[in-house]
Structure 1
Amino acid sequence: MMPTAPTLPAGVSQDALLAALRPLCWGAADILRAYSRGEQPPYGFPKALSVDDGGEGPVSAADLAVNQWLLDGLKQAFPEAGWTLLSEETAKEQLTEGQPLPADWLWILDPLDGTKDFLQGTGEYAVHLALVQGRRPVLGVVLLPEADELWIGLVGEGAWCEDRQGDRSPVRFSDRTAVSELILVASRSHRDDRLVKLIDTLALGGSKAVGSVGYKVATILRGETDLYVSLSGKSAPKDWDMAAPEAVLLAAGGAFTHADGELLTYNTGDVRQAGCLIASHGKAHAALEEIATRAMATIDPGFQV
C-alpha cells in the first residue's frame, strides 16, 4: 500500500515548491559542472584554487558554493516557511551528538554526493535535497548534473524524471522479480568481507558498480539495476546520503528498509544510517530482507541489521 500523499508546511504549496526547486537544482548543476571542468562557475562564485595555491581544492569549493546556493535559494523563495535547513556542510555547527534538531519540518541537503566520482570525472555524482517531517521523508530530489536528470519524488503521489526543458519521463522499474535474476548496484569501494559474503549468499543475477547513492538509486529507477545494499557500522552513510534517494524510491513504489524490515529514520540525534540497509524496486523486497537477515546472523552474529 502506498503511503498517504504528503502535506507541506503552512503557506507552502506543492506547485510553488516545485517551481522554486527546479531552477535551484539546475543552477547547482551548472555550478558543479563548471568546477568539475576547472571553469569559471556562474552566479559570482570564485574559481577553485588548488590546495597548493592556498585554496581549498575543487571539491571543497564546489561543496561550499552549491551549499550556499541551495540554502540562500530556499531562504529567499520561502522566507516564512516553518522549516529548518540542514546540510552536510552545516552539520558540525548545527548538530549536537544525541540531540535531534527541534524541527518538525527539516530539509536535509547534500550539495555533492560522490566526491571520488566528482574528482575522477566519472560523472556519477549527485545533489540531494530531502524534506523530512518528523523522522520520515515526504519529498526527495536527486539531481544528476552530468546526466541532466532531475529525479523528483513526492511520497504517496509518485516520482518522475525531468530534463532541463521540464519534459518528464516515468520511472521504469525492471520486470525482474526472482532474487536470482536481480541486478545489484554496488560501490566501487566501501566493500568489506561481510558485504562480499552477504552478496554471495543472495546469489543475485549480476552487479553493476557506480558512484554516489543518488546515482545508484537512479539506476534502479531506470530499470538498469534492481537493488542496493549498504552494510556498515561506525563509518556508515549519513542522513544526507540516504534521505533524498529514499524519498524518490518510495514515491516511485520501491522500498528502502533495514534487513529486519525497520524503516530508516532521520533527525534522531545520530546522523549515521548504520546497519544492513536494502533499497530495491520492491518486487522481491521481503525475500531480500529474509535472506539478508538470516545470512547476517551467520556472517556477523553481533551485527545490528
Structure 2
Amino acid sequence: MMPAPLALPSGISLENLLQELRQLSWGAADILLAYGRGEQPPHGFPGALSVEEGGEGPVSAADLAVNQWLLDGLQAAFPAAHWTVLSEETAKVQLTEGEPLDAEWLWILDPLDGTKDFLQGTGEYAVHLALVHRNQPVLGVVLLPELEELWLGVLPGLAGSAGEAWCENRAAERTPVRFSSRRPLAELVLVASRNHRDGRLEQLLEALALGDTKAIGSVGGKVATILRGETDLYISLSGNSAPKDWDMAAPEAVLRAAGGCFSHADGRPLAYNTGDVRQAGCLIASHGFSHGDLCGRAAEAIAQIDPSFPV
C-alpha cells in the first residue's frame, strides 16, 4: 500500500530540491577530484591537502571543504527551510549524548565516506546526504566522484512520489537500478569491507554459506554495487565501534527507494536521530529478493555464535 503523501517543508518542491542537489553534488565531486589529483580545488578552498587525526580517524582538508560547500549550498538555496543539518564534521558540537536533535526534518551528511580510501588513492570513497523525517530517511544522495555516478533515491510518499532510485552522470543522463537475478543464498555475492572484519563476522559468513565476496571501501560504494547488480548484499556486524548515522542514512534511502531492503537481522528498521548515532547490531542490506531468508539465517547463526549480541 502506498504510504500517505508527505509534503516537503513549506515552499520546497521535489523537482527544485533534486535540481539543487545535483548542482551541489557535482560541485562536491569537483572539490574532491581536485584534492585527490593534487590540483587547486575550485570555489576558493585551500590548495594543500592537510590531514589531521580526529576522534574517528583522519580528517582532511577535503572533508572540511566538501562539508562547507554543502552546508553553505543548502543554506543559500533554501534560506527559509525548516530543517536542520547534522554533519559528521560538526556532530561533536551539535550533539549531546542521549538526546536527539529537535528536528522534524534533518539532513544527515557525510562529506567524505571512506577518508582512508581517499587518502590512499583507491578511489573508493563517496559523499552521503540523506533527508530524514522523524527518524526515517525519505531521500538519499550517494555521490561516487571517481566513477562519475550520482545515485538518487526518493522513498514512496515523499511529495507524492511512488518511490524511485536511479543513477545520473554529469549530463543528468539516467541509468536505472539493475538488481541481479541471483536468489539462492549459496549464489549471492557479498560486498564487504577490507578492514572492518572480525572473528564473529567471519563465523556468521561461514554459517550463511554465501557465494563470492567483493571488497569495497565506502558504504555508499558497497550499496552502489548492489544497485548495479554486481553484488547482492552487505552485512555490518558491530557494537561500540559501529558505523554512525551518516554512514548508513543515504545508502539506505537509495537502496530502499530502489525496492531493496536494509534492516536489522531481526527485521527491525534502522532509526536515525535517536540520541545514539551508532548503528550497532547486525545490519543487512540486500536487493530484497532473499532478505527474509537472509535475516532469519543470520539471526539464528548469531544466537549460536554470541547469544549476548543484540541483533
Q: TM-score, normalised by structure 2?
A: 0.94
Matched residue, 1:227? 233
> Amino acid of the residue matched to residue 17 of structure 1?
L
Given the alignment of the two structures, is residue 113 of structure 1 paired with residue 119 of structure 2, yes or no? no
Matched residue, 1:205? 211
Matched residue, 1:177? 183
Asked if 2 retains the 8 angstrom alpha-carbon contact of 1:185 and 1:207, the reply is yes
Gaps spanning 5+ residues in structure 1: where? Answer: 53-57
Matched residue, 1:55? none
Asked if 1 retains the 8 angstrom alpha-carbon contact of 2:34 and 2:40, the reply is yes
1:7 Cα shift? 3.1
Matched residue, 1:137? 137
Asked if 2 retains the 8 angstrom alpha-carbon contact of 1:254 and 1:281, the reply is yes
After TM superposition, list the pairs within 5 Å mapping 1:26-41 onto structure 2: 26-41=26-41
After TM superposition, list the pairs within 5 Å mapping 1:248-267 onto structure 2: 248-267=254-273
Q: Go from structure 1 to structure 2 and tell me whether the alpha carbon gap of 1:109 and 1:139 turns closer, same or farther (over 3 Å shift).
A: same
Given the alignment of the two structures, is residue 217 of structure 1 paired with residue 228 of structure 2, yes or no? no
Gaps spanning 5+ residues in structure 2: where? Answer: 53-57, 157-162
Matched residue, 2:87? 87
Given the alignment of the two structures, is residue 45 of structure 1 paired with residue 51 of structure 2, yes or no? no
Matched residue, 1:195? 201
Matched residue, 1:294? 300
After TM superposition, list the pairs within 5 Å mapping 1:132-171 onto structure 2: 132-156=132-156, 157-171=163-177
1:12 Cα shift? 0.9
Find the residue that maps to 1:180 and give its secondary structure.
helix
Matched residue, 1:282? 288
Q: Go from structure 1 to structure 2 and tell me whether the alpha carbon gap of 1:199 and 1:181 turns closer, same or farther (over 3 Å shift).
A: same
Structure 2 CA distance for aligned equivalents of residues 180 and 35 of structure 1: 41
> Amino acid of the residue matched to residue 147 of structure 1?
L
What is the count of residue pairs matched by the alignment?
301
Structure 2 CA distance for aligned equivalents of residues 244 and 39 of structure 1: 28
**What is the percent sequence identity of the aligned residues?**
73
2:279 to 273, 286, 290: 273
1:3 Cα shift? 5.1
Give a deviation string over 1:238-266, Cα, whole Å, max 9, x none: 00000000000000000000000000000
Q: Go from structure 1 to structure 2 and tell me whether the alpha carbon gap of 1:286 and 1:2 turns closer, same or farther (over 3 Å shift).
A: farther
> Amino acid of the residue matched to residue 42 of structure 1?
P
Find the residue that maps to 2:270 and give its secondary structure.
coil
Matched residue, 1:24? 24
Asked if 1 retains the 8 angstrom alpha-carbon contact of 2:106 and 2:132, the reply is yes
Structure 1 CA distance for aligned equivalents of residues 217 and 96 of structure 2: 30
Q: Go from structure 1 to structure 2 and tell me whether the alpha carbon gap of 1:2 and 1:211 turns closer, same or farther (over 3 Å shift).
A: farther
Q: TM-score, normalised by structure 1?
A: 0.96
